Amino acid sequence: MIKKYAFLLLCLTTINVGFSQTVNTVGLSKFSQISVITSGPGEALYEKFGHTAIRVKDPVLQLDLLYNYGIFDFNDPNFYMNFTKGYMQYKLARYPFYLSLKDAQQEQRWVKEQILNLTQEQRNTFFQFLENNALPENASYFYDPYFDNCATRPRDIIQKITGDHLVFKSDFVKEDVSLRQLMNREIHPNTWGSLGINIALGNRLDKIATPIEYLYLPDYVFKALEASKILKEEKEENLVQKTTTLVDFEEKESKSDTFSPFLIVLLIALVGVFITYTDFKKSKRTKWLDFVLFFTTGILGLLIVFLWFFTNHSTAPNNFNFLWAFAPNLLVAFLLLKSKPPKWVSMYGKVLLVFMLLIPIVWLTKTQLFTYPLIPLFVLLGVRYGYLQKALKR
């Protein structure tokens, strides 16, 4: 969905000023075209959703430009801190269209173009809007992967420019699914990237998505444009005048990681359950196992609390992963290194057991969907918490 063109920003800034002054005075000709460009998924995690951008072409003015709302810079010294806090700044960049095709060829990603059925006046309004957005003082915006990204920006601009003339069709929606389910179709759930995202984000992702909310994904922007109409002289016409495949590659499949989360978590769970069985037979308690389980779930619990209460991520609050990744576990982990932990730790363990019993209820009612690689961990935690009720009473 996003692409790093940081190296373009400096060289293109100098081009933009004089160009803008010239074209803004003349305006686009009647032979101009405004297109939505959709690219297929790439290899990197941030490319898995594909990408949406806007093309402005005018043979009379000899311009062919791409307007890309997906620019970010890894070299920004505050990049990772801002990313963690939910204050990711993205930019609109404008550059020659051929550069995007060259990049797609190198990365073997398909590219499709949808020429919009707009009047010359609408095209000029569209173009002026983009030009104003591309100014240095307007180019930056705070990115939200689900509600304000490279796909939602073109969607919103089209709605703004066409106004009441746009007839949005939702025929492309075939079933009721949530934002999380849509996401998990693009990123394979059995990957570490997907696991991290599913743990970090709360149940706002689990409400059924409206047709317009589907358009946070480039594929659905493409489908919505194909289905929608525009009013011209009180008659409905296709919003897309023509669709063309510019770069043709087979779409990259979303695959499980070789050393997948489910495999690793399953192996850990089997070892943990076996140790618990041995502890039961020998009437003992393996303290290091308790420490590792409580310390790990406590650290993850702290991360959930931080994202929920201390960041700007719109989808981090109301995260029911706290039922298993419980922040106080971090402190209890050190108490469990003792042969005789305080008596209240046993009662604390009962609370954790109740939390584990609530997980299938939350899941089945679709209050929040958990990712399936966590299932072996849930089993291990349930078994170990249950055993601790006996072991801590001895």
Per-residue pLDDT tens digits for 137-148: 999 999 999 999
Q: Is residue 256 part of a domain?
A: no
Q: Is residue 391 very low, low, confident or very high in pLDDT (cuts 50, 70, 90)?
A: very high
Q: Is residue 273 part of a domain?
A: yes
| Alpha helix positions (H), 230-317 | 261-282, 287-310
Final residue of a structural domain among 202, 224, 247: 247
Q: What percent of the chain has pLDDT over 90?
A: 85
In this predicted structure, the answer to whether residue 2 has a pLDDT above a threshold of 70 is no
The reply to whether 229 and 368 lie within a common domain is no
Domains identified in the chain, total number: 2
Q: Which domain holds residue 111?
A: 6-247
Q: How far is CA 377 from the centre of its chain?
A: 24
> Which of these, 330, 328, 334, 327, lies nearest to 303 by C-alpha position?
327
Q: Is residue 10 very low, low, confident or very high in pLDDT (cuts 50, 70, 90)?
A: very low
Q: Is residue 171 part of a domain?
A: yes
> Which of these, 361, 300, 308, lies nearest to 326 by C-alpha position?
300
Domain CATH number, residue 144: 3.90.1720.10
Task: Give burial (CB, 10 Å; 0-12/13-18/19+) of 294.
Answer: buried
What is the C-alpha separation between 306 and 309, in angstroms, rounded?
A: 6
What is the C-alpha separation between 105 and 124, in angstroms, rounded?
A: 30
Q: What is the pLDDT of residues 98-152, one digit of tens each?
A: 999 999 999 999 999 999 999 999 999 999 999 999 999 999 999 999 999 999 9
The reply to whether 215 and 187 lie within a common domain is yes
The reply to whether 352 and 241 lie within a common domain is no
Q: What is the pLDDT of residues 33-86, one digit of tens each?
A: 999 999 999 988 888 999 999 999 999 999 999 999 998 876 677 776 777 778
What is the C-alpha separation between 79 and 92, in angstroms, rounded?
A: 17
Does residue 57 contact residue 33 with C-beta atoms inside 8 Å? yes
The reply to whether 270 and 369 lie within a common domain is yes
Sole residue written with tokens 């961990």? 377
Final residue of a structural domain among 191, 214, 247: 247
